[in-house]
């Protein structure tokens, strides 16, 4: 890894973190296409720079955590099942799933189909929940369980929570904002836990790469968040499903048939 690739990965993370297209999947595939060695540092880098993107949500939604305690309670309720599952399956995820191109491509492809199918069946379903404060604690826990599926790289944390929310009768804008807020404790815990285990082995140069990726992902994520909120006012998530399918097929060809 070098300064250039840390910037590229930071941009990829910032752009994709909050879109239902899997930031982790894109980071893994970008690393593969750039022929960056799948080292332990790279795996930690791909996890840690997500905190930069999450910081953009803190900046944009800080009032929700300081002044709206009811929202905070729902977010914590949704975070708990994800935290439990993350602690249980951390080693499996880090050792066997991160860096696995095949899993990422299948997750992108199947996830794209599911997004399209769910939008088709639930597009006409009446969604009565238009505020995060109206989400029940039971629904919040269920959303957290949906989010835990995203430990599989390529699934997409935002896609899992958003699709789960739509199935529970929450409207698009509300579940997207809930997904933003839920990302804060989820990714802060994931990054913190990983760094506690791995940061001691980083070199000074690697810390510089990590810092640059963090800053770049923060700046680009600010743009991505505002784009998604604007996009969903007039559109559904089907374009993201189509994108996932096309991307998975294209990358499967490049990585396994053409073998770039």
- Angle at Cα 73 formed by Cα 126 and Cα 57, nearest 5°? 80
Contact 43, 98 (CB under 8 A): yes
With cut-offs at 50, 70 and 90, classify the pLDDT of residue 123: low
Contact predicate 165/22, CB 8 Å: no
Alpha helices in 168-203 (DSSP H): 172-198
Confidence of residue 161 (pLDDT cuts 50, 70, 90): very high
pLDDT per residue over 228-239, tens digit each? 989 988 888 999
Residue that is written with structure tokens 């784009």 in the block: 227
Please give the pLDDT value at position 129.
82
pLDDT at 39 > cutoff 80: no
Mean pLDDT score of the chain: 86
Give the containing element (helix H, strand E) for 246.
helix 238-252
Q: What is the pLDDT of residue 65?
A: 65
Number of domains making up the chain: 1
Q: How confident is the model at residue 198 (pLDDT cuts 50, 70, 90)?
A: confident
- Whole-model pTM: value is 0.83
Compute the distance between CA of residue 105 and CA of residue 102 in angstroms, rounded to an integer: 5
pLDDT per residue as tens digits for the range 86-118: 888 877 777 777 767 888 899 999 999 999 998
pLDDT, greater one: 214 or 39: 214
Mean pLDDT of 226-250: 91
Residue 50, Cβ neighbours under 10 Å: how many? 27
If pLDDT is split at 50, 70 and 90, which confidence band does 124 have?
A: low
Residue range(s) defining the domain that contains residue 76: 3-257
Q: Whole-angstrom Cα distance, residue 43 to residue 32?
A: 12
Whether residue 255 is predicted with pLDDT greater than 90 in this model: the reply is no
User: So what's the pLDDT on residue 191?
Assistant: 83
Residue 218: band (very low, low, confident or very high) from pLDDT cuts 50, 70, 90:
very high
Q: Which residues neighbour 205 within 8 Å (Cβ) at sequence distance 6 or greater? A: none
What average pLDDT does the segment 148-159 reach? Answer: 88
Per-residue tokens: 139: 């629904």
- Are residues 171 and 129 in contact, defined by beta-carbon separation less than 8 angstroms? yes
What per-residue confidence (pLDDT) applies to 171? 87
Distance CA 152, CA 104 (A): 8
């Amino acid at each position: 890894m070098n300064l250039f690739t840390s910037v590229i990965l930071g941009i990829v993370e910032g752009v994709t973190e909050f879109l239902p297209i899997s930031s982790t999947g894109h980071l893994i595939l970008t690393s593969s296409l750039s022929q960056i060695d799948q080292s332990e540092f790279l795996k930690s880098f791909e996890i840690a720079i997500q905190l930069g993107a999450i910081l953009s949500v803190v900046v944009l939604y800080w009032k929700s955590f300081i002044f709206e305690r009811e929202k905070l309670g729902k977010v914590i309720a949704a975070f708990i099942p994800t935290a439990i599952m993350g602690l249980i399956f951390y080693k499996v995820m880090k050792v066997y799933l991160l860096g696995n191109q095949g899993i990422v491509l299948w997750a992108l492809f199947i996830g794209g189909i599911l997004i399209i199918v769910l939008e088709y069946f639930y597009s006409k379903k009446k969604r009565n929940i238009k505020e995060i404060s109206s989400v029940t604690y039971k629904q919040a826990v269920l959303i957290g369980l949906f989010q835990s599926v995203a430990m599989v790289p390529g699934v997409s944390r935002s896609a899992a929570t958003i699709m789960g929310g739509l199935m529970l009768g929450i409207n698009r804008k509300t579940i997207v904002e809930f997904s933003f807020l839920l990302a804060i404790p989820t990714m802060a815990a994931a990054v913190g836990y990983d760094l506690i285990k791995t940061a001691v082995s980083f070199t000074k140069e690697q810390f510089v790469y990590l810092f640059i990726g963090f800053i770049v992902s923060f700046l680009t994520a600010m743009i991505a968040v505002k784009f998604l909120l604007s996009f969903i006012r007039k559109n559904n998530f089907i374009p993201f499903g189509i994108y996932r399918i096309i991307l998975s097929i294209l990358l499967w060809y490049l990585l396994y048939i053409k073998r770039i």
